Structure 1
Amino acid sequence: MLILSLETSSPVCSVALHRVADGSLVGQSELRLDKSHSTHLTVLIEQLLANTGHQLTDLAAVAVSDGPGSYTGLRIGAAAAKGLCFALDIPLVAVSTLKALAAQVAAGTARPENFLFCPMLDARRMEVYAAVYTHEGQEVVAPTPLLLEANTLAKQLARHSVLFFGNGAAKFQPLLEEPANAGFLAGVEPSSVAVGALAVAAFHRQEFQDVAYYEPFYLKEVYTTTPRS
């Protein structure tokens, strides 16, 4: 019994398989090619199943990175996950992109109890999608669109050592006037492995989504424009 996890909230298209029984990682596959999700996601799923000696009927659930993140990427991931759940009659698990990213970094941090973890995803200009978590995943600041300024998250930085990471964190670093309690980690990208680890726990708690009505957590309203021509 396996959980298939999809991470499509960033330019990285990533899929992973975890065992339901013990949460162990069976395999992972990812493609770091921008705008590749629509053409390569299903191929990655098929290849991962084949390479690990499994098939779709071995899946107990599908997990998807819930957002925030790329509107297009999130829609592609949600559509693929919902299609599989409908076809296989299995539950859908949604995992916060920011929480999974924080758990991913906390797992690789020495003495993580000494830090707060702040994932930041680029939302263009000087805005990011961000949240703050403890090393155990407790929410200190709920996911929110943050306009980056010198005093952003000043309350948390005054009381704690905070690690910042994600593709929006680099914009924040030069704004800090007193960065004594701030640490910045480069090269941290959302991963289906972290999504899957949280999805296994959610599966055992039976925290499932309504497959028919599920929509990603965009955090901001989606704006569309009409072509002039």
Structure 2
Amino acid sequence: MLILSIDTSTRGCSVAVHADGQLAASYDLLTDRSSSSMLTTLMKNAVEHAGYALTDLDAVAVAKGPGSYTGLRVSVSTAKGLCYALDKTLIAIETLAAMTAQITAYYPQGYLFCPMIDARRMEVFAAVYDTYLETVQPTRAVILDENSFADLLQESPVVFFGDGAAKSRPLLGTHPNAHFPNQLIEPSARTVGMLASKAYAAGRFEDLASFEPYYLKDFMGTTPRKKVV
């Protein structure tokens, strides 16, 4: 089972190769807008450095979002194009779940995990998972205030992380059950591939023709449309 995984949900670009569920190669670039210029190069290099060719792949996995509209569009179109060209299956993994998979082992059971991706102003894309990556609260757009996640914080310790967590720390950081890792947790293809290996074994594949990124919100441009008279 050989899976190539891609994550360009936020800034930068992340690629990984897993063979039989074990990490064989990975590359991470954290430079803004690197996904459009470097993704195909990193994909090719990762597969070759793992000792394989693209034709050896069994599946391509992609972080489906939420996240950057442009980043998601680049990674999903690239993954679909590769699957079409090589006749491979497509696997999609939620970005927030893959982020959570990076840190659950570092906290005791009973903790909840709230990955956050920065959106606009005081808004974040967030979800809540338990230690086993079971969904406690589904992915949604949250406008942060002092009462955000108050019900969960009354019941359990909650770890807030991701590039959106900095917005929540001034509002929630004084609560004894609110925890914030010192290190920024970025989306990574390494955990996308780990979860994709399980999805492949379970036969959870996407329909190539109909699959679209999970944008969560409609794209909003910065330039208003001109009125046509």
Name the TM-score class by shorter chain.
Answer: over 0.9
Of residues 95, 98, 105 in structure 2, which corresponds to 1:97? 95
Contact 1:150 1:177 in 2 (8 A): no
Specify every segment of 5 or more residues in structure 1 that has no aligned partner in the other structure, as ranges.
none
Q: Secondary structure at the match of 2:101?
A: helix
In the other structure, the counterpart of 1:15 is: 15
In the other structure, the counterpart of 1:64 is: 62
In the other structure, the counterpart of 2:84 is: 86
In the other structure, the counterpart of 1:134 is: 130
Contact 2:110 2:130 in 1 (8 A): no
Q: Does 1:144 align with 2:140?
A: yes
Contact 2:26 2:190 in 1 (8 A): yes
- For residues 1-229 of structure 1, the aligned pairs below 5 Å read 1-19=1-19, 21=20, 23-107=21-105, 109-111=106-108, 113-176=109-172, 178-185=174-181, 186-224=183-221, 225=223
Contact 1:12 1:189 in 2 (8 A): no
Deviations 1:134-164 (A, max 9, x none): 0101100100000000000000000000000
TM-score by length of 2: 0.94
Residues in 1 aligned to 2:13 and 2:44: alpha-carbon distance in whole angstroms: 14
Residues in 2 aligned to 1:227 and 1:52: alpha-carbon distance in whole angstroms: 47
TM-score by length of 1: 0.94
Residues in 1 aligned to 2:5 and 2:215: alpha-carbon distance in whole angstroms: 19
Residues in 2 aligned to 1:192 and 1:10: alpha-carbon distance in whole angstroms: 12
- The residue type equivalent to 2:162 in the other structure is G
Specify every segment of 5 or more residues in structure 2 that has no aligned partner in the other structure, as ranges.
none
Percentage of pairs with the same residue: 48
Evaluate the alpha carbon distance shift between residue 45 and residue 177 of structure 1 in structure 2; reply closer, same or farther with a 3 A threshold. closer
Alpha-carbon RMSD across the aligned residues, in angstroms, is 1.5
TM superposition shift of 1:227: 5.9
- The residue type equivalent to 2:196 in the other structure is A
- The residue type equivalent to 1:219 in the other structure is L
Q: Secondary structure at the match of 1:135?
A: coil
Residues in 1 aligned to 2:67 and 2:213: alpha-carbon distance in whole angstroms: 9
